[in-house]
Structure 1
Amino acid sequence: MTFILASACLMSYGQNFTNKGREFWVGYGHNTLFYSGNTQEMVLYLSAEQTANVKVSISNTTWVRNYTIAPGQVVVSDLIPKSGAEDCRLVGEGISQKNIHIESDVAIVAYAHVYGDYSSGATMLLPVETYGYTYASCNTGQSYDADSHSWFYVVAAENNTRVRVKPSLETASNVQRNQEFEVALNKGEILNVMGATTSAGIGNDMSGTTILSVAGADGKCHPISVFSGSSRTVICPSGAGLPSGDFIMQQIFPATAWGARYLAGITANTDNINIPGVNRFRVYVRDKLTNVYANGTKLNSMDQYGYFYDFDANTPQYITADKPIMVAQLIVSQEGCNTSASSYNDPEMIYLSPMEQAINNVSFYSAEKEHIQANYVMLTIHENGISSLSIDGSIPGPLTSTDLTLDCPGLPGYKVVVRRFPATGMQHTVRSDSAFNAIAYGLGDHESYGYNAGSYVNNLTYIAEIKNDSSSTPNTYTCPQTPFSITIKTLYTATGIIWGYGTLPGFSPNGNINYSNPVPDGTEVINGKTYNVYKQPLPALAPSTGTYYVPVTIVSPSIDNCTNSEKLVIEVKVLPGPTADFTFVPDCATKTTSFTASSSDPLIDKWRWEFGDKTLDNVMKPDKVYVAGGPYTVNMYAFRSSDGCAGMATKTVNIPGMPKVAFDQPAVVCMPNGTSNFVNKTTVPGVFTGTLQYAWDFGDGGNAADKSPTHYYAARGSYPVKLTVTTDQGCSDFITTTVSAFADRPVAGIGITNTEQCAGTAFSFSDKSIYPGTATGAQYKWTFGDITSGTAANPAKTYKQPGTYTVTMAVISSEGCISDTASTVVKVYPVPVVDAGPDMITEPGKPVLLQATVTPATAAISWSPATNLSGAGQLQPMASPLETTRYYITATGDKGCKGTDSMLLKVFKELKVPNAFTPNGDGKNDTWRIPGLEDYKNATVQVFNRWGQIVFKSTGYSNPWRGDINGTPLPTGAYYYVIQPKEGGYGTISGSVLIVR
């Protein structure tokens, strides 16, 4: 649902749509004359301010008429068909596919008029852009004859429209009160609903019926239009005579266009402008708890269902409410409401515009049909607008034969202005520099017509307000680069608001502002209604002059459409702002840069500086210290307090970088020779691509220009060291520190007990350094000549390879001074390589040759134990042990370096397998023990019963058989075994064993 809000006022309602447009729809409403000769006629009055080409057609027929309207003129259309294939009359309830469609190439105003046989009714037509989603039917009481009904019809301007109707009373098709029903419509179709007839000539008043547009087949809600009226009815049937009846039709304002303040004069009842008649006012409410007042007096006489109030008056009325209402002004029946039989009256219903929808320029048509004897325009306007008011180019007088000006007793300062026109069909124009509300009507003997002469049709549930941030009051415009905000005021409690700046190129912010579950910034009572106020959370900036349209989406569960949301398009006018400029005198970073603002506008009285480093100022001549060099984009805004508009100047300010001087000095200077390494840590904060110059002063007369120099102090002392750094842009800074920590170097010394060792034997080194103080806290750096190193004071080192190695050591004292390097040489001798030969197997006492090897061959040999050896000093002696024995060989080489190895000589004994055992649990021979078999680790044993079934098996025989099978004792008897020792020359051993129990 989209509305355009104009910023022409500080607070702008709705979308500034009026009754002027380029597309209209209207139906041929039900008329009692359909049944008495079909004598009624329907025409359209089409008026334009510029040349207009207009097409009038009847949907789903071939009937088309084209008209060209000259500027300031009115065209009366051909008679609308009432019979044949083009007949578009609404003769009964239901859907009609024949609807009157008006299309123009430029904006026009349009009215529909039905007349005939002393019957007349007319309505102002509203263009499709004013259509809404929620309506309440606004009718009159129904009293005439059996062919007359209170009715309303719904017009679909788009395909896939779906409407939900909740009748206030029973319809002619027997739909009961409050029984909802839905109907699908396509473009150009009409749903016609008529009230039921309850007794002779009396019918149900369909006022209060609600009509909602709901989601159609495409899932969308589509805007609709609703007309209300009567086939013919009497209004205010009282008095001595028979009151007259008449046909009524009016296009209803959507619920969003209802207001809270209405001002109305009283229609005349003759052709004498100075003789007021009696009008009935019907005030429609959507909420029965609405408080309604007429000239300050609270209305209490509501209809039984809570849809409306009725009251009669013969003086101007100021009607107000605390919630939105709609007001109809009714011209009563001739001789109705106790009026004279000679008065000019006939029933008519005119929907009034609220004062919030007032307009300052209308054009309308005064008709001569049917039997009209006097035409009128009646408007309400503030007295300040009287001087600029013109009706057909002339200023109305206070009281003449054609003009009348009256006070409004309920609203001081406002006037009712009436002008009578001839009873001929003609175009009229009313203008003023102040807004007004107007109705046009005509009277005759038992005859009348009337309609709203022109109106805004804005959504009054929302108000948009534009305010420049530097302005103390709302504004009608903003200026480029001026921070502004759009405040939304709504009758509803919003659950979300989106300001759609993301759709506008060049705007800041460059995305939408989403405000979820917003908390109102307060409430305001405006024209008697309480609005929730929602301020834009962040300001916006427009890029240049022009007119922009900012989409704003408001979400609320109280909004009557499919999405419970409204889209407002806020018109933002951006006018040229004041000029602005500034000058500046740049200096190095950390120094003061001076700025001065200037403008040709003498009303400039506020400034805002954005220095490009996230710092701000608000004086005319600020001094700024940049902490880092680089280019900075500086924005300066110069504001006028009168409207909050800003001029903006942007410049790039190049600030030379200032060196941030720093260096690392030695923690201690070690003597003698006082070597001091200085490491330059200078930086230039910000953007810097230039070069730096360095000037060192070491405090002892020495100087340097290197970045990170080395200096040598000849003597202890306290020396101020100063580093000065200068950029190629002339920015210079320095730092001074003191070098005063001096210490003597230690003298390294290595201690060792033995400089010669066999490979694999550790050398023991010790610290024998001389310290200026103590060795506590000293650090050590050892190298051992074989790529290994150490840090212990007294390390041990084992070499695997023979050779000569140079060992070095340097010591760092606890003060941090490192000594010169001490060194010593050690020699590592080889160890003989010994192989005792393979493990072997033999029988007891049987000689076996041991197969040892030794390198070098000159090494001395020694075997142990020497028992059962042919020679303990031989390299490969003969061995004949009776038991398994492990023999060790030792070879001794140069410097007594020894190598050793061993071998196992395994002696296998003869296996003697027992042929019986007694597994009876007496502790004697309970297992089948085979002496010596435990030495045969890989031996396999299998035992079978006499049927060849295995009852026992094992690999190795560490757990002798107990005469069972899986834990169950076997019976006494002979069993057969197969043993495979797999070592010692034995083959398979087999036989039998007897279990005796």
Structure 2
Amino acid sequence: GNSEIKWTAGDPDDSADALTVDLYWTRDGETWNEIATSVPNTGSHAWNTTTVGAGGNTFRIRVVVRDPAGVHAEFVTGEFTIINHAPVAAFRFEPATATVEQVVKFTDESTDDGALTAWQWEFGDGATSQGQNPEHRYAAKGTYTTKLTVTDNGGLAASTERTVEIVNSVPRISLISPEAGSAWTANQSIDIEYSAIDPDDDELRITLEYDCIGDDFGWGTIAADQPNTGTYTWSLARIRESGSYIVRVTVTDADGAWAEAVSGEFTIDLNTAPVAAFSFSPSPATKKDTVQFTDESTDDGAIVEWRWEFGDGATSSQRNPEHKYGSKGLYAVKLTVVDNGGLTSTVEHTVEVINAVPEVTIVKPAAGSMLAASSPIVVEYEADDADDDELAVKLEYSRVGDEAGWVVIAEDQANSGSYAWSASGIRKGGLYRVRVTATDTDGASGTGTSGEFTVIALGNRIVAAAPNPAVDSVTFYYDIPTDGTLYVYTVAGSPVYTANLPSAGIAHEWNLLSGSRPVASGLYLYVVVSGNEKSDVGRLAIIR
């Protein structure tokens, strides 16, 4: 504990000097240990003697006094005795009664007049620890004597013992199968799967039982006193009643402790064979079609397996599969179904895959486009045949509103995807359409028709105006080899309007303004100059 050191010190030169004191202790008179330094000269200091460790009767104290100038004087006491009391060992633990699955927590409650410096635990099973508050897990049931030895800073030791009891653990079991909601028939066997463990490694015995929900007979024994193998095959041949059932598995250890697991409800049915049936669509189909097969089989229990054979070597195990055939022909499709009792049924139908009609899409001319008859008009198209047959292509054109109907451009052409149509023979401009017909080797034809586009046919002229007469605006259609200029005059020869015409274009629209002023009603003349070439003079009527 604490002991008080007292001294008296003064400075004869100057009583007002502030003196400081250094304190030391020794056990053998040779090695001096610091207690405190630069202590104010208060005449006393509290010393915790537990820091010296072991007690003895040869202790002395040295007091060194210094003035502000560094001059010092010292005094050494005579020998005196310090007594160190032995510690008192004590501990607690929890839980009070444990199993091999539990960790026992030990808590040191030892006391000492000084300080404890070492703990030695012996758990009674050969294991040890030097921690102050250790944890330990026992590997087997039994009664164990746990010993704690503590040592203080004076080297004194004390021990105490307590008994720890490790009791039997209850076994554990979980049921894996049969699964809740599963369906069985009386001619099947159920593999009852379970997992049973005993933390104490005792030998376990297994009892299996069943119960039909809703009857008055209670639990019936499947098997009793079985070894713990993890599985038992239960034959359902003796089941005489359809219904919902549950299974119970009970596990018992060598000490009589037991646990049980009960399954969810499953069904057992007295089974008859299923009736296989299916439909399919479309019928007939083509190579480009995906045929949808729909199972329509029936059973008194549940159908659990579908085996499809599509007649071309392909198969499926889906209930309602889809299938695409690679070529034309007749295919015998077979469906075999299996029910939950293992019984099967088969049905067969013929699927006819016929020739597919070619498909044609017009890419050019685009609807709304404006083309000159003086240059070749490129017709682009996409013609596809799902059966990969060779296609013969025919191209036609028609002027909208013309009673002449469709006129052949070319026929019996290879499926190249493009054709340059020389439209120079067209003498009448207006709205036109193009039609492409592709015919396969079986004679099936597919047609694609373009949207309406404009063909400008100027004949011998290089410029024309429409509408004529004009009210709000007029469009000049032209066909020139080089860039040119459009001139509009009054009949008196006064210029009204001028515009540059690029040779790459074919039309120019005028809003009937001269500068910012509307042109008056009347008759006007127009002409186009392109290089050294000059068009005929045209006449334009404007009506306001």
- TM-score, length-normalised on structure 1? 0.30
